[in-house]
DNA sequence: CGAGTAGAGTTCCCTTAGGGAACTCGATGG
DNA sequence: CCATCGAGTTCCCTAAGGGAACTCTACTCG
């Protein structure tokens, strides 16, 4: 398949996507974050090919998202636990889950999130760090940041590009 | 490759993932949401194989995430615009972007988000709908919801499964 | 009126990742 | 010393992705 490596593209979505966006990685991360951390358990839970699971886990460890750790000495056994970097993928999973719940669950969401600090069964909202309002495409705009450079996939230039051609 | 269809699995992440999680779909959605809506422009911006782009766009239209619409009559030309369902993928992109910014941008984020309502250049935070606190794996827990059923990938049963050993 | 051009896809061929299922290997535990 | 368990490997087959050239339909310009 020769997946194009997207890591060189100056776009954070592309970089995150490069690691995260195949059919399995998100599911593996969900499992691991939820406590299914052993090779066989993940394989069984997801019904993923063991070969692919091996490759995915290796990549995730290499990227520092998971850490392979010994959880018992005799016999020696390893499992996969999320690093800080891995834990911070949780919001991505929440966003994905939210969207899936909203558009695909007829019988209600299969899983509910409970926020331990306030005790409520809740849903995740993506909000503005400053004013706590919900962020949407319609109430936001994108502007070049410090690390912005022109290049394929650097979408900020998109609208310019579009108008340049006499097009909305 | 015979991608396993995940849509039948009772997990919203899996359902969202099934559509969203390949190398390109997230990038295509970003482009479209940001105003790059024409076939050739997307192809050029992402340097994606035109063949794959055709397939992706068809899938996204089929799923109701994008809509193919005529933007000029003479000569007849179509482009792809996000539907409501598509627009609601924005939080997913924000979460992905955030994570990418945090872990992969050395020179600062390539793109900044400005919240038009409050005017600030901001970042997205995934918060509890009730108390506005940030949600993390550590301050949340998952519980079965109304649509929950046992099955592969239904991660709520994960911890149980792990202790129970032996499988539905 | 015929040539040229832009937009939007198709088609073809080649490579390689994913699916599945069986096989391996080390360390037990009985 | 044989059966188990956890954790991967190996093999073969198929289908999806990459790349680049080709096509089809309106135009539009000299």
Q: Is residue B65 a part of any domain in this protein?
A: yes
Instruction: Give the Å distances, CA to CA, from A140 to A1, A92, A135, B6, B115.
Output: 36, 19, 7, 32, 5
Q: Is residue B118 a part of any domain in this protein?
A: no
CA of A75 to C1' of D18 (A): 45
Dihedral sign (CA B35, B107, B89, A65):
positive
Do A46 and A98 reside in the same domain of the chain?
Answer: no
Among A6, A53, A77, A92, pick the best mutation site for testing chain B contact (most B Cβ within 10 A): A92
Map tokens 């997230």 to a residue.
B26
- C-alpha B46: how far from chain center: 17
Contact call for residues A124 and B135 (beta carbons, < 8 A)? yes
pLDDT of amino acid A152: 41
Q: Interior CA angle at B19 toward B15 and B25, to 5°?
A: 145
B95 to chain A: closest CA residue: A92
Q: Do A13 and B30 touch (CB under 8 A)?
A: yes
Q: How many domains does chain B have?
A: 1
- Nearest protein residue to the C1' atom of D16, measured from CA: B1
- CATH number of the domain where residue A40 is located: 1.10.10.10
pLDDT digits (tens, 9 = 90+) for A45-86: 999 999 999 999 999 999 999 999 999 998 999 999 999 999
Do A19 and A5 reside in the same domain of the chain?
Answer: yes
Do A116 and A82 reside in the same domain of the chain?
Answer: no
Map tokens 């969202």 to a residue.
B16
Give how far A13 is from chain B: nearest CA, Å: 5
Cβ-Cβ contacts under 8 Å for B13 (sequence gap 6 or more) = A26, A27, A30, A93, A96, A97, A100, B155
- pLDDT < 70 regions, chain A: 1-10, 147-168
Q: Which chain B residues are Cβ-neighbours of A31 within 8 angstroms?
A: 155, 158
Range of the domain at A118: 89-139
Q: Which chain B residues are Cβ-neighbours of A12 within 8 angstroms?
A: 96-101, 104-105, 109-111
Instruction: Give the Å distances, CA to CA, from A127 to A95, A166, B38, B73.
Output: 12, 34, 30, 39
Q: Is residue A64 a part of any domain in this protein?
A: yes
Q: Is residue A128 a part of any domain in this protein?
A: yes
Q: Do B36 and A155 touch (CB under 8 A)?
A: yes
Pair type for strands B111-115 and A140-144: antiparallel
Contacts 24+ apart (CB under 8 A), B71-78: B71/A167, B71/A168, B71/B37, B77/B38
Q: Is residue B85 a part of any domain in this protein?
A: yes
Q: Is residue B28 a part of any domain in this protein?
A: yes
Contact call for residues B154 and A115 (beta carbons, < 8 A)? no
Helices B25-34 and B90-104: angle between axes, nearest 10 degrees: 110
pLDDT of amino acid A13: 87
Instruction: Give the Å distances, CA to CA, from A64 to A57, A77, A84, A85, B151.
Output: 11, 20, 9, 7, 30
pLDDT of amino acid B58: 96
Mean pLDDT, 10 residues at a time, chain B of 168 residues: 55 86 89 95 94 96 96 93 97 94 86 95 97 97 72 40 30
Do A121 and A80 reside in the same domain of the chain?
Answer: no
Do A16 and A93 reside in the same domain of the chain?
Answer: no
Q: Is residue A70 a part of any domain in this protein?
A: yes
What distance in Å separates the CA atoms of residue B156 and residue B159, rounded to the nearest whole number? 7
Q: Interior CA angle at B88 toward B87 and B93, to 5°?
A: 90
Q: Please name the nucleotide lying closest to B73, CA to C1'.
A: D26
């Amino acid at each position: 398949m020769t997946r194009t490596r997207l890591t060189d593209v100056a776009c954070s979505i592309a970089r995150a996507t490069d690691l995260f966006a195949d059919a399995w990685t998100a599911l593996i991360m969900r499992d691991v974050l939820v406590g299914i951390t052993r090779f066989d358990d993940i394989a069984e839970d997801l019904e993923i090919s063991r070969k692919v699971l091996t490759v995915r886990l290796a990549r995730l460890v290499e990227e520092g998202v998971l850490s392979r750790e010994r959880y018992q000495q005799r016999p020696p056994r390893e499992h996969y636990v999320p690093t800080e970097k891995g834990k911070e993928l949780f919001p991505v999973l929440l966003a994905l889950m939210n969207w899936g719940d909203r558009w695909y669950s007829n019988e209600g969401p299969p899983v509910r999130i409970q926020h331990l600090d306030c005790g409520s069964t809740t849903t995740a909202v993506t909000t503005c760090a400053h004013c706590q309002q919900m962020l949407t495409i319609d109430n936001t705009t994108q502007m070049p940041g410090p690390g912005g450079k022109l290049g394929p996939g650097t979408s900020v230039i998109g609208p310019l590009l579009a108008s340049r051609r006499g097009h909305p």
